[in-house]
Amino acid sequence: MMRPLRNLRGVDVVARPDRVEASLWRRFILSGQARLRESLFERYRQFARSLARRHARRNQLGRDVVEDLEHFAYTGLLEAIDRYDPRKGRAFLAFATSRIAGSIVDGLGRINELGAQLRFRRRSERERVASLVDGEQEGTRTAVAQLADLVTELALGLMMAAQENAEAGPREGTADNAFDNLAWRQTQNQLRERVNGLDEIERTVIRQHYQNDLLFSQIATMLGVSRGRVSQIHKAALGKLRKTMRLAR
């Protein structure tokens, strides 16, 4: 989207989108930096998502499968980003389309359509819970205190997911009176501010997991770290959010 003229920055006067994109690729190829891989992923995420949705429409697949297809498309996109070489002269979207489509078809072949949505959701939720309970030392705190923290962290996760999905339509289970709606919005704003205050890598994990529904394994590929490390970062980030949200109350 174009900025209004009066809000234009100096660099916008001369920046050309094709060159900005090429610069991103050049720096990524030279450095392999996770931050640049993430920028590339964000740049093409909507494209991967639209391929997944188109595939679902063409094959008359149920809505419940779409989320799984998107997840397969993201895997294909991440693979395409790592394998693409712009010096070979092929446009990225042309290169990536067949890989994303292949990933969707392969993924679909591995799952039972009816259980797809459920499996993805369950896997994602299992990852979350495993991440949060992992490393808890028995005996250091009471089981009730541990459970309370776990529930708070899971609730924070649900709030973030709801926040990211707000544009999709009305939320299920949200408050229906003006006061509660206001309180909900204020808490969400507070949460958004706290997320912005996290370390860069923590922000990336939280954003990609809750906003883009990426599994820990996919975020691990994106950041060039192990899946276990992503799980640790997720736990640390939610722990920080839990503490700061408590202080803020």
Which chain residues interact with another protein by CB under 8 A? 4-6, 8-11, 13-16, 18-20, 22-23, 25-26, 29, 86-87, 89
When the beta carbons of 93 and 129 are compared against another protein, the nearer one is: 93
Cβ nearer to another protein, comparing 23 with 165 = 23
Taking the complex as a whole, the smallest distance from the CB of residue 20 to another protein amounts, in Å, to: 4
Whichever of 20 and 175 has its CB closer to another protein, that residue is 20
Give me the count of residues in the chain.
Answer: 249
Token pair listed for 198: 């996290």
CB of 245 to another protein, least distance (A): 34
Write the CB contacts of 105 (distance below 8 Å, at least 6 apart in sequence): 55
Nearest alpha carbon to residue 44 among 212, 202, 245:
212
- Tokens 């705190």 belong to 141
* Closer of 18 and 176 to another protein (Cβ): 18
Nearest CA to 156 out of 122, 137, 131, 134 is that of 131
| Residue type at 10 in one-letter notation | G
Cα–Cα distance for residue pair 96/86, rounded to 1 Å: 12
Nearest to 86 by CA among 22, 3, 9: 22
State the nearest-atom distance from the C-beta of 29 to another protein, in Å.
7
Residue 43 Cβ vs another protein, minimum distance, rounded to whole Å: 13
CB-wise, 19 or 192, nearer to another protein?
Answer: 19
Rg of the chain's alpha carbons, rounded to an integer?
A: 20
Q: How far apart are CA 94 and CA 97, in angstroms?
A: 5
Measured from the CB of residue 84, what is the shortest distance to another protein in angstroms?
Answer: 11
**Shortest Å distance, C-beta 45 to another protein:** 19
Please give the structure tokens belonging to residue 43: 């740049």
Count CB-CB contacts under 10 A for residue 232.
Answer: 16
How many other C-beta atoms are found inside a 10 Å radius of the C-beta of residue 68? 26
Nearest approach in angstroms of CB 113 to another protein is: 41
